[in-house]
Chains A and B, each alone.
Chain A
Amino acid sequence: MTLFLSVAIIVLIFVVIFQIAKASEYVSILKGEEASRQQNNKINGFLMVAFLVLGFVGIYVCNKMYYGKTQMAQGAASIQGEKVDEMLFVTLIITGIVFVITQVLLFWFAYKYQEDTNRKVFFFAHSTKLELIWTVIPAIALTVLVVFGLRNWFFFTGEPPKNAMVVEVTGKQFGWIFRYPGKDAIFGKKYYKNIDPATNSVGIIWDDEYSKDDILTEQTMYVVKGTPIKLILGSRDVIHDVGLTHFRLKMDAVPGIPTTMWFTPIYTTKEMQEKTGNPNFQYEISCDQMCGNGHYSMKGLIQVVDQEEYDLWMAKQKPQYFTAFPEKDPSAVPVIDSTAKKATIVKL
């Protein structure tokens, strides 16, 4: 019923507008083309300035309402993020100046030079000097932005410092898997045909000695504040994207082609909760590449903690090898025949 009513109202509004428009056409014919054109010019000329003024008021209001909800207001949580924010600010200033100048000129000219039968238009077909000015000035401004941008770009995509902690991130429909290399700091090899969703979600080759202490976790990744984190990204099925809003970075996770990214977090999750005044604050990993119908729910978390807490957490983690082969787990089976263990391991 409400649907019917609202449709009826909309139709009615259409009919009314249409009838008024038609009537105004008859009026303009009666008044004569010249007179009605002048009237239309006056109205639209006024609306041009009104639009300009209201537009700037609107931008102000919009900024007032929503700036506080953006990441800029909150501040970045990585050294990379701080550089991005700084660059956003510089770009905003430069493009903002151009925006204001051009929009003001556009609407002001439209208002100022609306048809006036007394004005003789200025036959002005070209001016090399003017054209050179607005070729060179943008070119200079852009050079500044390019230089600034590329310095950051090479820093972001360059090699991380030597002390970086490495975590492997694998996307799947629709979740994240994290692998830590364990004590040996080297990942065991993997091959996608070994994937077993229950015990070996990334397809680790267990015959590889380095794989024995690899640790797998899902959904939540722990990292240490102040330590450079290098992520090696991959995907099991379709292309995903590791979006780290608070660190101002993202990188695709592509099946078959590993990609990397690195960042240095500067606040722990707890510090960020205090800084933002939001006790529920979490560093969320959002999937930023369309990956299927569950795309919007593909969430991971990053717990940024200090070294102490990280060590505590790490101590509690059990190598995935023991999940895959519970009988090999020394903690689960306290007494074990060491000769039998060796015999079952098949070399690569």
Chain B
Amino acid sequence: MPVFWLVIVVLALAAAGYILGRSRALTSAGGDIRRLHSLPSYYGWNAALKVIIPALLLLVVWLLAQPFYVNSVVSKMIPQAEISEGSSRGLVMAEVRRTANGLDSIAAAGLIDDDETRNLRVDTTDVTKLLKDAGQVVTSGITQPVLAAAQHYRIMKASGDLIMSIAVVAFALAGLLWGVRESHFDFRARNVVEQVVKALLIAAASIAVLTTVGIVFSLIFNTWEFFRLYPAADFYTLFEWAPSFSGRGGASSLGILPLLWGTFYISLVALVVAVPVGLFAAIYLSEYASPTVRGFAKPMLELLAGIPTIVYGLFALLTVGPMLLTVFGDDGLGWMQGGRAVMTAGITMGIMLIPFVSSLSDDIINSVPQSMRDGSYGLGATKSETIKQVVLPAALPGIIGAVLLAASRAIGETMIVVLGAGAAARLSLNPFEAMTTVTAKIVSQLTGDSDFASPEALVAFALGMNLFILTLALNVLALYIVRKYREQYE
């Protein structure tokens, strides 16, 4: 693990830098701490940071950039004739990489020595057999251009790794020298260290922005790729979802509308379950309940929120579904064909959302000023009249915000619908029929063996893009409503 050792070397140099920087500063002050500008440890940290940061930064950038460079050089070596019908340069490159890795491991295992692997030729040695015998995974027979490319790939990779190691260690040494030379009694080490630390803090805070940028870019690039292979107009207007299983496009019809319908239908059922229960629970807890009841019931309800969604998924599949089936199935009312249905997923999701709605509404109801209630009581209203005519209207924007947040949760929920809602995309009004959702289809399109370049796999990114925009819009709207409402009483 050379990267691991490289990091260890850099850290060791940093430790050396700490000790050298500190002692050099002390010596320059003649051993008298009071003559130093900063505390001695700051001189040490200054040197250590100057070793670590540039060296590790270089290491990360190199590790990310090198595969691209090597790939682009080696893939130019592959002649056009080598790329067979129905294949692509990328697939051949994958074969090249596999061959190179295979050569690496047989050389490491000592089956043949390193020089021999460089001089292997397909016409003199059966390389495919050699690799397969050594337990390596190679799919097809290796041809001479592939082998040559693999050998070149290995050489470039090895020399790249070597140069990287040298460069990183050189950077670390230069940093060490720089930091230690600076250590003089009138050098403002504390200011420098604090500036660097502050820069690191800003970098950490920016990771949130980077994550968003990463999400947006990975969605946009792949969605763009998808729309080049599949017309966007069809995606948004077709009433049919029927991906072909060949993974080569053509016969697939990929319309988002049935998926959106399933998503909205299931979310609607979930909200019909969660909103009344959650809202009345919140009203009771904040207006009626004694402290003892509140102290017991509130954490119990919130326990529902702490349970992972996979548990709800299994609950939907194995408990709710069969339960509904006994009532509405062929033995009962005959409305339901299988355990997986809109109702199954919707009810389970509703249970999951109860604590979400109730704790958000609880906060909002509690933030309605007591003086408004007192005014209403003073006019002779009963408690329920006060709640219905004073508290709830005052809290309404906040509650709408909470419901929107719950809706965004329901739309983005995955495990419950994957296990409970079924796999067939349908446009139907019957809530006892199996339907599917955007999230469930993202999972099913990306977990198969299909290759990532086919429209059947890329459609998942387009679905993800729409899901992201939808939930983001709901969240922003909800936050806007909640924030606007809060200002009225402060």
Same assembly: no
B residues lining the A interface (CB < 8 Å): none
A residues lining the B interface (CB < 8 Å): none
